[in-house]
Amino acid sequence: MLKKQTVWLLTMLSLMIVLSVYYMTSPSQDQVALLYDQEEQKEGEGTQEEKATSEEDVVETQGEQTEEMTSSMSSDEYFVAMRMQIDDNRSKQLEELEQIVSSGDVSASEVNEAVAQKRQLEERSMKEDVVEQTIQAKAEYPDVLVRSKEDKVFVTVKANELSREDSVQIMEMVYDEFGTDNVSNVEVEFQPYEQ
């Protein structure tokens, strides 16, 4: 029971720290309102043909969504927002799995499967942290974000440019930690910032 409480406490503390950093660095309400007014004016200038979308326009890859999201916020805000989103999703997943484990209404096989998924989620989170720390230590980037989903790993590095050699080195670090059997695809991108 102590381990569950410790994990819960650490999760809540890290969420509180991330939220406080986010609120300290976020623009004030007046600045946000001004940004929305400017965006509405720009949208009003477009024609109806430009506003019409098809199914092809709606379908986007994660990389394109990330690019759009990063263009409207600073790199610090991007890393904070992504970490908050990842922490929130993981917390929800762990909570759902914990409810299955603690529920008396499910079979033993479902409980075992939930425990295995929970352990796998915690291991994936630990591996992401290790890769982030390894990349920061070896390459001295200001910030690194590693997120994994199934057999794919996405690495975002805070850097103004990223050479092919740097990308290959980062991929090798990911494969060293996650294993080549568990990862089929590693995507490395950089997030520019002002020094």
DSSP state for residue 26 in the 8-state scheme = S
Q: Which residues pair with 102 in a beta bridge?
A: none
Is residue 9 situated within a structural domain? Answer: no
Answer whether residue 61 is part of any domain.
no
Residues 118-154 pLDDT 10s? 999 999 999 999 999 999 988 888 899 999 988 899 9
Is residue 101 situated within a structural domain? yes
Task: List the chain residues with pLDDT less than 70.
Answer: 1-2, 26-73, 195
Q: Is residue 38 part of a domain?
A: no
pTM for the whole thing?
0.60
Question: Helices 108-139 and 75-102 meet at what angle, rounded to 10?
Answer: 160
Any idea which residue has 């989103």 for tokens? 85
Name which of 152, 170, 195 is nearest 63 in CA terms: 152
Structure tokens at 131: 């890769």
Query: What is the C-alpha to C-alpha distance for residues 11 and 87, in angstroms, rounded to an integer?
Result: 8
185-191 vs 152-158, strand pairing mode: parallel
Domain of 100, CATH number, reads: 1.10.287.4300
Residue 178 belongs to domain spanning:
73-191
Give domain status of residue 79, yes or no.
Answer: yes
Does a structural domain hold residue 40?
no
- Count the domains in the chain: 1
The answer to whether residue 16 is domain-embedded is: no
Residue 152: strand pairing partners: 149, 185
Q: Is residue 65 part of a domain?
A: no
